[in-house]
Amino acid sequence: MKAMINKNTFLLLLITVIISTACFSQEPKDLDEKVEKFLDENRQQWRDLNVPFGDGKIIHDLIVENNYQSALEIGTSTGHSTIWIAWALSKTGGKLITVELNEKRQQQAIANIKKAGLSDFVEFRPGDAHQIVKELKGPFDFVFSDADKDWYVQYFKDVHPKLKRGGRFTAHNVLQNIGGIREFMEFVNKHPEYITTVDKSSSSGIAISFKK
Ligand SMILES: C[S@@+](CC[C@H](N)C(=O)[O-])C[C@H]1O[C@@H](n2cnc3c(N)ncnc32)[C@H](O)[C@@H]1O
């Protein structure tokens, strides 16, 4: 009798585990398909200063290739780059903190990331990045700066002590003639602890500063 109960209990447990695994877990392959579908379907729909598809892929690949796991994004908007970063982190086992001042855009980003199936990999921080970036503890191994360009140098200075060696600080739109970009490029190019290159494969340009 005792052996029967044990056997039945074991079987019941096994069935419960199998059912809950089937219902609740998202296999990496399923997640990849979901994200790819979302990105493809929305490729032409981004209207809020979002990065182009190709730039999203560049930052995604940087994270995956370097196995980065603790990312910071400055300037979420409606979440196109956020999705690319979070997708990469879903492959490396990492997490992203993303900061946005505009509440409406942030709400849209939260909805977009949910639709893409990536909510588990993103922490949304509403508010002014000028303050928030100073307060964040880090450490980070990947940063994507894409908010107000005239603050890029200050964001860099604030993140620098929290960026791990071997990590990268990336900055968007550095090939564009926007106030603050020239000063930023001069600053990072002169910085003795970084090697900075610019990915020019998109018209926006992405500065990639590697911390030695
Ligand atoms: C170029 S958009 C970001 C696009 C986004 N990375 C993407 O590709 O989907 C810049 C965003 O930064 C936000 N922003 C500007 N200044 C900010 C600040 N001081 N703090 C937080 N967000 C800011 C803007 O509201 C805007 O949504």
**Encoding tokens for residue 64?**
């995956």
Question: Does the pLDDT of residue 210 top 80, yes or no?
Answer: yes
pLDDT at 27 (0 to 100): 74
- Count of residues for the chain? 212
The percentage of the chain sitting over the pLDDT mark of 70, rounded to a whole number, equals: 88
196 lines ligand 1 (CB under 6 A): no
Q: By mean pLDDT, which of 22-26, 46-50, 110-114, 170-174 is the weakest? A: 22-26
At residue 203, the 3 state secondary structure works out as coil
Question: Does the pLDDT of residue 155 top 50, yes or no?
Answer: yes
| Cα(170) to centroid(ligand 1), Å | 15
Instruction: Judge whether 95 and 121 are in contact, CB under 8 Å.
Output: yes
77 lines ligand 1 (CB under 6 A): yes
Question: Does the pLDDT of residue 91 top 50, yes or no?
Answer: yes
pLDDT at 23 (0 to 100): 45
Atom of ligand 1 nearest to the CA of 56: 8
95-100 sheet: strands from edge to edge: 122-126, 95-100, 70-74, 140-145, 163-172, 206-211, 194-199
Protein residue closest via CA to atom 4 of ligand 1: 50
At residue 44, the 3 state secondary structure works out as coil
Question: Does the pLDDT of residue 71 top 50, yes or no?
Answer: yes
Architecture of domain 42-211: 3-Layer(aba) Sandwich (3.40)
51 lines ligand 1 (CB under 6 A): yes
The pTM assigned to this predicted structure is: 0.89
Helical H runs in the chain?
2-24, 28-41, 53-66, 80-92, 103-116, 129-135, 152-159, 181-190
Instruction: Judge whether 207 and 188 are in contact, CB under 8 Å.
Output: yes
pLDDT at 13 (0 to 100): 61
Atom of ligand 1 nearest to the CA of 99: 21
Q: Which residues contact 137 (CB under 8 A, 6 or more apart)?
A: 162
Rounded to an integer, the average pLDDT of 74-95 is: 98
| Ligand 1 mutation target, pool 74, 101, 125, most atoms within 8 A of CB | 101
Which pLDDT tens digit goes with each residue over 23-67?
455 677 899 999 999 999 999 889 999 999 999 999 999 999 999
Exposure pattern of 53-78 as b/e (b: 16+ CB <10 Å)? bebbbbbbebbeebebbbbbbbbbbb
* Domain ranges within the chain, ordered by starting residue: 42-211
Which pLDDT tens digit goes with each residue over 129-143?
999 999 999 999 999
Separation of alpha carbons 98 and 188, rounded Å: 22
| Cα(79) to centroid(ligand 1), Å | 10
Average model confidence (pLDDT) across the chain: 92
